[in-house]
Amino acid sequence: MSNSRRNRARPHKISLATNSLCAISGLRLILGAVAILTILMVSYPVVSVVWRSLSKDDIGSEFTLQWIAALFGSPRSQDAILNTIVYSAGSSALAMVIGVTLAFVSIRTDTPGGRWIGALSLLPMLVPPFILVIGWVAIADPNAGIINILASLIAGSKVTLVDVNGMPGIIWITGLFLAPYAYLLVAAGLANSDTSMEEAARLSGAGRIRLLCTIILPLQRPALLAAGLLVVIMSAGDFIIPATIGLKSRIYLLPSLIWQNSNSFPPRPGLAAAQALLLLTVGLVCIFFQRRALSRGSRFTLLGGKGVSPAPFRLGRLRYPVAALAVLFALGSSLIPVVAVSAMAFMKYWAPNALTWENVTLDNFNYILFAYPQVWPSARHSLILAVLGATISVLLAIALAWYGLRLGGRLAALVEYALVLPLGIPAIALSVGILSTWILVPGGIYGTLCILLLAYVTAHIPIAMQFVSSAFHRINTELEDASRVAGHSWLGTLRRIDVPLMGPALAGCWLLIYVVILREIALVILLYNPSTIVLSVGLMDVWGNGFYPELAVYSLLLLVLGMLPVAAFWKYARFGVS
């Protein structure tokens, strides 16, 4: 155990003695300024939300508690809070069950095709949630959903086996959506487990069940806790599913209510801010405990002495049914909805009797791609913002990570703490915070593409930092030292040594942020105006019209634009945070 601790690369501080005093001081100044600006960037929305929820009108106006009172007093608000609790609990539980099982099956059992199951389990992350929604509407709509049509055919009369509308429906979809995130955290924990712990248990007489219940699962407690808290935050703050199917079924949840209170008539931004405050508080509390669980976890997942990979957990005859189920679940949140949506895109109209050859058409593609006026301007905006947002996030992360790891200091440590904030703030709440501040600045960036860019960077800089920091950690500091001794400055070293070595990690980080920005709705739904529409917002517009085949084409466009760079560059990219 002492060996593994000794061998981990430690952050290495540059001593002033080996550099000209001027260069380092200037550097410290610049990076310090960048750090302070970043800290401000991620914290003012929180302050803003708090302040706005306590102000009668815009920030700076009279102090009032009326919005907080309305938060808990107004019947719609109470209703929404209750619904959000039920929804969050249900979908988190479902996501954990699916994610943990898939992780265990693919990584630790002798199920055939374990690695494929693992890859399939992560596939849903590339699928925009909108496609998940439309796909499952196509599958489980009470009237025209495939399952119900088939059931009716078999039964002879109209049968509604499943109904995607309603609380169970949205819990199901959100559970499927969040499962890959649970999978990621738990899989990392399982892959890093100390083999000798399990071997010692086996030699002490533990059979398979006892081994699983007393050793394997308890040792994963930190990862399980971290995963659980993450999916709770994500489900409580999720916007797309509540704002589409949720509203259609008249189930009001906090995020959709925040949107309505901000946009509809009469607008009640104060109440929206109070609701955002509630979400924000829940999120920050969860993220605090999640970080603690992850840092404590290092004690539980020390690498084994000889690096022997753990013996697979024998499932015996259950291997094949389990594998089949796992594949089904993994596909259920990725390929199956995409196929369903693709089928819908070719339909003239979507109804119970829509599955006929006469119903096939290319009109929808024609309309959306060529006739619909909003499409290409919004696509252009989306692409510009996604590329810029990903690039700025990665560059900023490189600067801050390098600052923290090589120069050190209290400011750098503060940055690390501050950057945890956006992780715990649901996107819609962050949106409220940004809006409440910038609306005060006349002639400022409100209503421009810049405010959207600011929102994207604010929301995604923590993820970029995680990727880039862990990539830096993996670089042995002696590689940098050798470059410095050979005569290159810190900047030259960064350019010639660090960045190329981190290349795959940076590419992976960039692609991830690009994909996420492209399909992000909640961040921008409150901040856009007609001249700055992005693809995802346009999607909400089309949803409003209720014409599913056109919706299908639009969301396929989103999928394709997101997938293009990934397909082109995924070989060079490395997706993984150690």
Partner 1 sequence: MSGLSVSGLTKTYGSHGEIKALDDFSLDFSPDQCTVLLGPSGCGKTTVLRSIAGLITPDAGRITIGDVTVFDGASDTDVPPEKRKLGMVFQSYALWPHMTVADNIAYPLLTGGYSRSEISRKAEAMLEWVGLSGMGGRYAHELSGGQQQRVSLARAMVGNPRAVLFDEPLSNLDARLRERMRMELLSLRQKVPFTSIYVTHDQLEALTLGDRVAVMRAGKIDQVGSPEDVYRRPRTRFTAEFVGIQNLLSGTVRGAIGSEVMVDTVVGTLRTRGWRSDWRMADRCTVAVRATLLTLQNGGNGASGRVVRTAFQGSSSITLVDVGGTEIAVETLAEGRAVPNTEVVVTPSPEAVFALLED
Binding site for partner 1 (CB under 8 A): 1-3, 194, 196-197, 199-207, 210, 214-215, 218-219, 221, 299-300, 302, 304-306, 311
| Structure token pair of residue 30 | 């610049």
Q: What are the beta bridge partners of residue 109?
A: 313
Helix or strand or coil: residue 146?
A: helix
Count of CB atoms situated within 10 Å of the CB of 218? 11
For the CB of residue 369, give the shortest distance to partner 1 in the complex, in Å.
Answer: 50
For the CB of residue 217, give the shortest distance to partner 1 in the complex, in Å.
Answer: 10
Residue closer to partner 1 (CB basis): 43 or 196: 196
For the CB of residue 220, give the shortest distance to partner 1 in the complex, in Å.
Answer: 10
8 Å CB contact between 420 and 43: no
d(CA 475, CA 497): 9
Indicate the angle between helix axes 75-108 and 269-300, nearest 10 degrees.
30
Residue closer to partner 1 (CB basis): 134 or 190: 190
371 sits in which H/E element: none
Residue identified by tokens 């880039």 is: 468
Listed residue (325, 350, 169) closest to 342, CA to CA? 350
Residue closer to partner 1 (CB basis): 311 or 351: 311
Q: Which residues contact 476 (CB under 8 A, 6 or more apart)?
A: 9
Q: Where are the beta strands (DSSP E) in 142-250?
A: none
For the CB of residue 308, give the shortest distance to partner 1 in the complex, in Å.
Answer: 9
Q: Which residues contact 542 (CB under 8 A, 6 or more apart)?
A: 550, 551, 554
For the CB of residue 43, give the shortest distance to partner 1 in the complex, in Å.
Answer: 35
Length of the chain: 578
For the CB of residue 490, give the shortest distance to partner 1 in the complex, in Å.
Answer: 37
For the CB of residue 218, give the shortest distance to partner 1 in the complex, in Å.
Answer: 5
d(CA 288, CA 278): 16
For the CB of residue 196, give the shortest distance to partner 1 in the complex, in Å.
Answer: 4
d(CA 422, CA 411): 18
Residue closer to partner 1 (CB basis): 34 or 302: 302
Count of CB atoms situated within 10 Å of the CB of 301? 18
For the CB of residue 216, give the shortest distance to partner 1 in the complex, in Å.
Answer: 11
Q: What b-and-e string marks burial along 376-405, b requiring 16 or more CB atoms within 10 Å of the CB?
A: eebbebbbebbebbbebbbebbbbbbbbbb
For the CB of residue 60, give the shortest distance to partner 1 in the complex, in Å.
Answer: 52
| Structure token pair of residue 208 | 């398979």
Residue closer to partner 1 (CB basis): 109 or 148: 109
Residue type, 467: F
Residue closer to partner 1 (CB basis): 306 or 571: 306
Residue closer to partner 1 (CB basis): 223 or 435: 223
- CA atoms within 13 Å, Cβ hemisphere of 243: 26
